Amino acid sequence: MESTGSPTPHDRLTLRGVDHLAHVTWDPEATVSFYRDALGLPLVHAVTGTGWLSENFPDFVHFFFALGNGNHLAFFYYFDLPQDQAPDDLMHVSRHIALHVDTEEELLAWRGRLKAAGIRVTPPLAHEMIESIYFDDPNGIQLEITRPLREFGGIDARDAELTVAALTDVVRKGDPSLKATWQRKAELIAARHERDTN
């Protein structure tokens, strides 16, 4: 999404509700079954990644359900993460609240307002399809303000279905890893293509 117009003055800044709420799951199959199948929330996007945030950040699958009105509920599944040994810093960056703005100007203006108020805030960080700034509230809750770099499309939803199907399969097998998830996903893509072309 291209930026337009002049920079937004701080005193005119508004937010457009919640972009996504993020939580951690240890049971992706039950989570997908609950939100997608029982509640009927569309699964619209999934990203898989190695630990790029820091050296000891675990491999993960991060998937998003649409809540309506542009809002999303997101979950992280971390590989090799015992439920009773969850490291605090990992939960901190996972259980965050992301607020939505539309443009780069608004994102930068919000950053300016936060800095002017003496709040430590990160530079804008571009992910795959969003760009965000991060900061903490006084309670240690991580907040994020994010703008879309593009809208989710049908291709993202179809890809997300394959990602969580692959994740579910490897978790069921009892020794899940991101490598196994990627390899299972390649099998599912090939099988679907075979089915669709015959």
- Residues that bind another protein in the complex, under the rule CB under 8 A: 46-52, 125-129, 149-150, 153, 155-156, 158-159, 162-163, 166, 179, 182-190, 192-193, 196
- Comparison of 80 and 137: residue with beta carbon closer to another protein: 80
Cβ 139 to another protein shortest distance, Å: 27
**Buried (b) or exposed (e) across 4-23, using 16+ Cβ within 10 A?**
eeeebeeeeeeeeebbbebe
Cβ 184 to another protein shortest distance, Å: 7
Cβ 168 to another protein shortest distance, Å: 14
Non-local CB neighbours of 45 within 8 Å, separated by 6+ positions: 63, 64, 72, 129, 152, 156, 157, 159, 160
- Comparison of 8 and 146: residue with beta carbon closer to another protein: 146
Query: CA nearest 108: which of 6, 1, 8, 175?
Result: 8
Look at the block and give the residue holding tokens 């692959």.
166
- Comparison of 87 and 153: residue with beta carbon closer to another protein: 153
- Comparison of 117 and 126: residue with beta carbon closer to another protein: 126
- Comparison of 115 and 158: residue with beta carbon closer to another protein: 158
Supply 142's token pair: 């991580």
Q: Count each helix (H run) and each strand (E run) in the chain, helices first.
A: 5, 8
Q: 50-59: long-range contacts (C-beta < 8 A, 24 or more apart)?
A: 50/178, 53/93, 57/90, 58/90, 59/177, 59/178
Q: 124: exposed, middle or buried (C-beta count within 10 Å: 0-12, 13-18, 19+)? A: middle
